[in-house]
């Protein structure tokens, strides 16, 4: 079983839609949960991170962690064409430990 | 401020050759991590260096090695290249050994092995 799994998509939505991106992980020892955005031919960019369970909101983006079900989500409200990218979830046991990435979900927001 | 810079941006090598990839971290950042991203997959951790010492190593063969210099720049070396080494190699820098909240990635080096 892979440590973190993510539906690779591709996912295509109309502009203004609410987007839901999800990952599952296998080990309850993971405490840090990150979402990265990666544009084509670019390196990943950290969008937000959460520690342990709960929600975190930053503008149009909301990250949720449910440790009981080992499920993490990223919601994008009022999606824009500029949100078109690959979204990578990532997990880590501590803030100093290696980061384990999911395979990424490709998102296209159609004008 | 300049971001994380990597060189070269692209290169093509032949099986069996050796390659050196370079990374300059953001000014003031002392930690550098290397990742391999195969097409269609997420980045996979190779090494982390902090203050010129190796702080972590991923599940990669000994053909992969790295080092960090006094100015905190870093090199990733890969010997005896295989076709499967074709990937985007990413460097990430952070201020301290903490790699989560302050990690910034470069645009990567696209390595093609033929």
Q: Which pLDDT tens digit goes with each residue over B41-90?
A: 999 999 999 999 999 899 999 999 999 999 999 999 999 999 999 999 99
Q: Comparing B95 with A104, which gets the higher pLDDT?
A: A104
Tokens of B90: 């990413």
User: Which tens digit of pLDDT belongs to each residue from A55-91?
Assistant: 999 999 999 999 999 999 999 999 999 999 999 999 9
Give B5-38 pLDDT, tens digit per residue.
Answer: 999 999 999 999 999 999 999 999 999 999 999 9
CA-CA-CA-CA dihedral for A66, A72, A75, A80, to nearest 10: 170
Task: Write out chain B residues lying below 8 Å of A93, CB-based.
Answer: none
**What is the pLDDT, as a whole number, of residue B54?**
93
- Express each pLDDT in B67-79 by its tens digit: 999 999 999 999 9
Confidence of residue A98 (pLDDT cuts 50, 70, 90): confident
Q: Which residues of B touch A32 (CB under 8 A)?
A: 100
Any CB–CB contact under 8 A between B58 and chain A?
Answer: yes
Q: Which residue of B has its CA nearest to A93?
A: B100
pLDDT of residue B97 exceeding 80: no
- For residue B2, is pLDDT > 90? no
The reply to whether residue A88 touches residue B104, judged by beta carbons under 8 angstroms, is no
Residue range A19-46: average pLDDT? 94
Check CB contact of A22 with chain B, cutoff 8 Å. no
Query: Model confidence at B99, in pLDDT bands (50, 70, 90)?
Result: low
Assess whether pLDDT exceeds 90 at residue B96: no
Angstroms from A32 CA to nearest CA on chain B: 8
Which pLDDT does position A8 carry in this prediction? 79
| Cβ contacts of A76-83, under 8 Å, gap ≥ 24 | A76/A18, A76/A19, A76/A21, A77/A18, A78/A16, A78/A18, A79/A13, A79/A15, A79/A16, A79/A17, A79/A18, A79/A19, A79/A109, A80/A15, A80/A109, A81/A15, A81/A109, A81/A110, A81/A111, A82/A109, A83/A19, A83/A107, A83/A109
pLDDT at site B1: 58
Please report residues of A whose CB lies closer than 8 A to that of B106: 43
- Mean pLDDT (chain A, rounded): 93
CA of A43: which chain B residue's CA is closest? B107
- Report residue A108's pLDDT band, with 50, 70 and 90 as the boundaries: very high
**What is the percent of chain A where pLDDT is above 70?**
100
| Candidate from B42, B58, B105 with C-beta closest to A45 | B105
């Amino acid at each position: 079983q892979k440590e973190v799994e993510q539906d690779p998509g591709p996912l295509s939505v109309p502009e203004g839609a609410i987007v839901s991106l999800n990952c599952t992980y296998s080990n309850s020892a993971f405490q840090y949960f990150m979402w990265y955005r990666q544009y084509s031919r670019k390196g990943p960019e950290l969008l937000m991170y959460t520690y342990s369970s709960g929600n975190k909101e930053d503008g149009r983006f909301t990250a949720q962690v449910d440790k009981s079900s080992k499920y993490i989500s990223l919601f994008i409200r009022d999606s824009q064409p500029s949100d078109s990218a690959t979204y990578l979830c990532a997990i880590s046991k501590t803030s100093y430990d290696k980061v384990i990435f999911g395979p990424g979900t490709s998102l296209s927001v159609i004008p | 401020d300049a971001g994380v810079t990597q060189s070269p941006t692209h290169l093509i090598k032949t099986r069996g050759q050796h390659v050196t990839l370079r990374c300059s971290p953001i000014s003031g950042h002392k930690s550098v991590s290397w990742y391999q991203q195969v097409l269609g997959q997420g980045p996979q951790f190779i090494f982390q260096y902090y203050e010129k010492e190796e702080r972590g190593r991923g599940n990669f063969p000994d053909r992969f090695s790295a080092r960090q210099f006094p100015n905190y720049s870093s090199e990733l070396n890969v010997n005896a290249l295989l076709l499967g080494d074709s990937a985007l190699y990413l460097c990430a820098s952070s201020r301290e050994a903490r790699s989560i909240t302050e990690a910034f990635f470069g645009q990567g080096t696209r390595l093609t092995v033929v």
